[in-house]
Structures are given as structure tokens and as C-alpha cells.
Amino acid sequence: MSILSERRTETRFTDYKAAWSIDQATVEANRCLYCYDAPCISKCPSAVNVPEFIRRIATGNLEGSAELILADNPLGMSCARVCPVEVLCSGSCVLPDMGLPAIEIGRLQRFVTDMALDGGWIFGDRAPATGKRVALVGAGPSSLACAWYLGRLGHKPVIFEKDRLLGGLNTTAIAPYKMKADRAIQEAEYLVAGADAEVRFGVDVGTDLPWAELERDFDAVFVGVGLGPDRLMARLPGSDLAGIEGAVEFIGQIKTREIDLRGLERTVVIGGGNTAVDLTRELLELGVPVVTLVYRREQSSMKGYQHEWEQAVKGGAKAHWRTTPVGFVGRGAVEGVRCVRLTEDLVPIDGSDFVVPADRVFVAIGQSRLGDLLEQVQDIQAPSGLVQVDEHGFTGRPGWYAGGDCVNGGREVVNAAAEGKAAALAIHQHLTGL
Ligand code: SF4
């Protein structure tokens, strides 16, 4: 992956939730009831103390508010923009039970964490150096969160990243109307600096650097390698036609470079998860006239968030539900996706096949798993390609921990941050006995 282009396509998108002024934030903060036993805290995977950070905004203690958020979630700025708050914190707010709108927790969190990031606010001092060094494999959200806590506790984090960019999918896969790549990198750099971490780019651990060397040279290892390339439908007839590509790979291009979509009239996105929905919205916003989702289940069963899909429909998205591709048609380049309808039990219906015309096809059926990379390491289990760990991220091999997508299969940034934090605290205990 190359360094970000100034002219990258994502710069054409505007924020779908614009930043708030202090007046807007103060008015919203004063609507909060500061509930005892607040459901918005228990719904947050990082257990951010929502009522207290909001109370601090209401009383003008903005630094104190940011300090509280970042203590629980050092990726609080990203999460403020990309968390599905509609189904997490704001989705549990009690105000709608009284006929009032839920508190916009994400926008309040963004208000103070933007200030912290732009002002370079770092809270508290780093603990005295312990002399312990921890290798972190991958520079995505889980590794960054883990490195942050390790660094603040006095250990030396060394991050190994096979590409050239910090932030992992937080940099290359977030819908641009939620967060731009340069903002994700800015946050990652803030964390690296605050943790006094070292980053070694261009090192593919397991290939360029044997796992055994990491174990020899470091006091502990955290594995946050994420997931692999998009899974494609390679067994279907015509899958080698030009114009069929993985959705995550394509979103990465939108995020990092300028791409030419001129002449693109009809696209098909295959899948029903959040990547499929995000890409559908992105293509429509970039001016592609017809974007059609093909998904094998009902709309109500899709993994993508319904509120996001509703936005896609408002933008003109079309869909074929309970439909699956059986091949691709075209001469040299793809011209359409041959599909069949499915019964409620997902059995193909005889004679139901039809072709959805397409100049480009994006496959969003998930990414490959990388747990197998660790097969060379004794005592680490990854039977289905996901690394097995306990609730502290411990793999079973002394000194080895893991978190993020390579463990959970691909969840939210806030889950990766929480897993990185849990592992950091466990590594600290492992290294110091405290
Ligand atoms: Fe405030 Fe809503 Fe949380 Fe209650 S549930 S503390 S009103 S944000």
C-alpha cells in the first residue's frame, strides 16, 4: 500500500455528521440525565463513562472530559466517528422511552476527542521505564491500543507493520463520509508518540522475520495481524473476468489514491455485511448511476446495519434479496452477474436464473483469515483461522497475546481497542507480576 495521495478519491466525500460547535455540544450535554447505572456505559465495549464525560462537557471541563474518554479508550476519536452508536451507547439511551431523541453520544465524544488530538493533549505521565520490550505485530487498532497502554505503563512497544501505513483497516477501510484516512493516521501517530513506541514498516513477520526471533528478542508478543485479502468467488464460472474485485481492496483504493470511475454505469455489490452496505453508499455518492446489492438472505437478516442500508436506499441503492450469484458473464471483462433466486431455506429455485448487468462487480463476502500464520508457533491454536485466546487475550503460550480481527473475525474498532487494552494489562501483569 502506497502512502496517501493528496488527490485521493475519498477527499470528495463530506462528513455525514459535521463537527459541533461548543454551543451545540453544551446544549446537547445538558439534555443528558446522567443516569445512575447508565445503560449507555454497559453497551460500550470499552465501558467509557458516558454520563460523566458528558457532565464534564456541560460544566465546561473539556480537558477532563477528553481525559476520561481516552483513559478507557485511546481510540476514542475514531470510535466517536465510526462506532455504530445507534446500536450501542445511543441505542440504549433512556430518553426515547420518554418520547425524546437519544443523546448524540458519538458527536459529543467527537467534540472533545477532536480537541484532544488537535491540541496534542496527553494526560498523566508515563511510568518509569521498566526495560521490558514488547513486539506488536500489525499496526491496526488493537495493536495501537495495546501499545498505548504498554507505553504508558513504562514498557517499550515495538510495532511491526508489513505495509507503509499506520492504522490498519481504520485507515484503509472506514467509509470516507465517517472518517478520512489522514485523520486515522493522525490518531495513530498521536498514540505512537504518547506510548514512545517504535514502528518498523515493511516487515512481514512470519516471512521476513521468523516468529521465533520475536520471542528471542522481546519479553512478550502481541499479535494483531487482522484479516487477509477479500475472499472472492473463485469457483464460479467467469470469475477470472476483468472488473471483478474485492470490496475491501477497492475501498482501500478510494481511501488512498485517485481512482477513475468515468464511464462506470452499473455496478453490483455481492454481500450483506457492513462492507457491502458502505461500498454501496460510496459508489452512489461518487456518482455511479446504478448500484445493485445481491444478497442471499432477506433484508431483515443482513449483517449490515439497517440504519446504514436505509441511507443507501435513500441514495438510490437497489437490491436483489434471497438471490445468489452462480457465475459471471462477459467477454474479457465482466458484463453481468448470473444469479438464481433462493427459497426461504436458501435452496436454489429451478429456472429462476437471470443476469444483473454490471460493468464492475465488488465481492464483499468477507476476508480470509490469518490465524494459520501462527501455526509455526507451538501451543497457539487457530483451528478455524482465528487465534484462540482467553478474555485477557492470552493465547496459551507464555508471553503471547492476541486481539482484534484475527481473534474476533472482524468486529468494530471499539472491540479491537478493548481487546488491545485487555491484552496490555495482562502483558503488564505477566512482565511485572503486578
Ligand atoms: Fe445520558 Fe442517555 Fe446515558 Fe442516561 S442513558 S446517561 S440520558 S446518554
Closest Cα to atom 2 of ligand 1: 93
DSSP state of 21: P
Which of 365, 428, 373 lies closest to 406, judged by CA?
Answer: 373
- Residue in 27, 28, 30, 34 to alter for ligand 1 test, most ligand atoms within 8 A of Cβ: 34
At 6, list the grid cell: 493528496
- Based on the number of CB atoms within 10 Å of its own CB, is 155 exposed (0-12), middle (13-18) or buried (19 or more)? buried
Measured from the CB, is residue 356 less than 6 Å from ligand 1?
no
Phi-psi region of 50 (alpha: psi -120 to 50; beta: other; left: phi over 0): alpha
Measured from the CB, is residue 409 less than 6 Å from ligand 1?
no
3-state secondary structure of 95: helix
Q: Is the pLDDT of residue 2 over 50?
A: no
Measured from the CB, is residue 39 less than 6 Å from ligand 1?
yes
What one-letter code names the amino acid at 197? A
Q: Is the pLDDT of residue 1 over 80?
A: no
At 214, list the grid cell: 520475536
Is residue 147 within 8 A of residue 223, CB to CB? The reply is no
Measured from the CB, is residue 94 less than 6 Å from ligand 1?
yes
Q: For 178-270, where are the alpha helices, taking DSSP H only?
A: 181-195, 211-217, 247-256
Cα 35 to ligand 1 centre (Å): 6
pLDDT tens, residue by residue, 95-128: 999 999 999 999 999 999 999 999 999 998 999 9
Cα(202)–Cα(162) distance, integer angstroms: 4
At 184, list the grid cell: 486515522
Which of 75, 259, 249 lies closest to 179, judged by CA?
Answer: 75
CB neighbour list of residue 178: distance below 8 Å, 6 or more residues apart: 15, 16, 81, 82
Cα(251)–Cα(230) distance, integer angstroms: 11
Helices 105-119, 50-58: axis angle to 10 degrees equals 70
CB neighbour list of residue 350: distance below 8 Å, 6 or more residues apart: none
Structure confidence at residue 50 as a pLDDT band (50, 70, 90):
very high
Closest Cα to atom 4 of ligand 1: 35
Q: For 99-243, where are the alpha helices, taking DSSP H only?
A: 105-119, 141-152, 169-172, 181-195, 211-217
Is residue 320 within 8 A of residue 229, CB to CB? The reply is no
- Residue in 36, 40, 44 to alter for ligand 1 test, most ligand atoms within 8 A of Cβ: 40
Cα(310)–Cα(393) distance, integer angstroms: 36
Cα 31 to ligand 1 centre (Å): 9
Measured from the CB, is residue 66 less than 6 Å from ligand 1?
no
pLDDT tens, residue by residue, 244-294: 999 999 999 999 999 999 999 999 999 999 999 999 999 999 999 999 999
Q: Can you tell me which atom of ligand 1 is nearest the CA of 34?
A: 6
Measured from the CB, is residue 87 less than 6 Å from ligand 1?
no
Helices 306-314, 274-285: axis angle to 10 degrees equals 20
Cα 47 to ligand 1 centre (Å): 13
Measured from the CB, is residue 209 less than 6 Å from ligand 1?
no
Q: Is the pLDDT of residue 193 over 60?
A: yes
Cα 314 to ligand 1 centre (Å): 29
At 238, list the grid cell: 467467469
Cα 17 to ligand 1 centre (Å): 20
pLDDT tens, residue by residue, 297-339: 999 999 999 999 999 999 999 999 999 999 999 999 999 999 9
Measured from the CB, is residue 50 less than 6 Å from ligand 1?
yes
- Based on the number of CB atoms within 10 Å of its own CB, is 301 exposed (0-12), middle (13-18) or buried (19 or more)? exposed
Q: H or E segment at 340?
A: strand 333-341
Q: Is the pLDDT of residue 374 over 90?
A: no
**Cα 205 to chain center, whole Å?**
22
What's the whole-number average pLDDT of the chain? Answer: 96
Measured from the CB, is residue 32 less than 6 Å from ligand 1?
yes
Average pLDDT over residues 384-412: 96
Measured from the CB, is residue 48 less than 6 Å from ligand 1?
no
**Cα 193 to chain center, whole Å?**
22
| Cell 453490483 sits on residue | 268
pLDDT confidence of residue 198: 98
- The CA-based diameter of the chain, rounded to the nearest angstrom, is 71
Cα(296)–Cα(40) distance, integer angstroms: 34
Q: Is the pLDDT of residue 360 over 60?
A: yes
Average pLDDT over residues 202-207: 93
CA torsion 48-135-153-51 (nearest 10°) is 0
Between 13-27, 171-185, 198-212, 363-377, the lowest mean confidence (pLDDT) is in: 363-377
pLDDT confidence of residue 329: 98
What is each CA distance from 128 to 132, 155, 156, 214, 423, in whole angstroms?
Answer: 11, 9, 11, 24, 20
